[in-house]
Structure 1
């Protein structure tokens, strides 16, 4: 028998066969042999094709990407300069070797890590139109972005505890937050971030990517990449929600409780001047909390409910999410923390002489 007399066409792309003649045992047996082969060929061919993801800059306006490149480079340089300055000032000034400033050093390190993990890729997209990123490189970037976000959230919780102890029990502040305790807190934050983020690369690698490989950002995120898979992503969604609830939401709750306790303590202080002085020590930390969590909530809402929003909105939220917190944190702490501000001024005056 000739196959051409039974089939009008075999559509590999749709894995579908159109019959000209009524179904017979012979045609069924032929389809039974061909169907697994075509499906296997289809999926394997797409697995081979999608060895890269494609990042995007300004959606639909690639020719204007270069307009964003220079401001982005300036932000990158300022972010590096600001966080390195914070680390340098804390290192050289013995008076800043206190728990609060050790936690601030951790925050600056996580901001530097996030900046280094994302900005080169973003600059490549906007400046050189280098939009392809290898699959494994994308997964690596995804892991570092998520773990650094988890670490930063944990550091903000530690800083909330620092402020709580400093205001509620100032006499025992140094003994409760000794160097060994701070080191253990730092290790715990790192371990938590690693344990929760370690599965993300494997959850993505198990998925077949047989549709579009174009991401909606200029860097890789788990929630962005998983949407491109042509298999079920229920496990990815559930695990992502578990991570958010056990880390970010729990951290926000702990910070909220800490500040309620701080507020009750401050309001019990008789002197209004002392009350304002105590609250003033928390301004920089509250600013850092808002700078970190508002963009994170914004990009989560856009990913969850923003299917019909303009791609430019996705692009803006994504850039704010990774670029703004590392840039503004050193500025806020330099302006609002008198010791750091004074030390930076002293360094600048010394260099001018």
Structure 2
């Protein structure tokens, strides 16, 4: 980060983000659930998922499998069946309940209900018709349209709002600990909603971190986690920075694309390009245009600070959100939102 070319690329005004220690007024509204969560029986879940039929699987993560399901009233939902093989299965269930069961925000995937029967633990979420950001960016079958830059910016802004709410919206604060593209879900309007709080830990007002086993997904884990084992909100900021890089470059965080490339992964490759004064070369050509280029480069500046090796040099998510909002106003990217 000390390289002269890198420093000249990053707007020095961004550095006040990490040095500011003042308590900023929150610009996020808290809304509690008006309706109690559904308490479903195992029979209800079996009927809704057609006995957990494999054809209904819409997602498979480290802590469980997600099924598309239909409730008796005809409502389509997503049912997450937590893995019994995971030693933290019960704790994850409780974390989910403590997190999404009590709070509501337009950029969090709504938890509608749950079922606990012996070792079986299941969560019922609102169904997100457009699936995950990972699904759209990878587009491995070529069956999906390319996400244009307007949609990508909208997704970045929405995901930042959701994460800022977890970090700053209420006390105790919440660290997600597994921010990645497959945990950013999209509704019919491509509104981003942060999902999967299985690794979340509630942080009391007097604590700044939580010490646990290293959690997260390869490619998104901040460098300090391997050294200290301390999960902080700044770790989430790093992971969010990786998502911003994915939106900007169209590339995956790791993989064969970087096998023979300097840097070894997406973050390393991008920083090498920035140091060489070739920042524009990392922009995704499928969405690059005269209109999108300036805002993509400006977002890349914010992203670079989010990815600072020293956690103290990273901004907070509330500060990232404020910069994205300012960009939206400047470039009218969010169509007045």
Higher strand share: 2
Structure whose CA Rg is larger:
1
TM-score, with normalisation over the residues of structure 1? 0.31
> Which protein has the bigger helix share?
1
Choose between structure 1 and 2 for higher RCO, CA contacts under 8 A separated by at least 6 residues.
1
TM-score when scaled to structure 2? 0.32
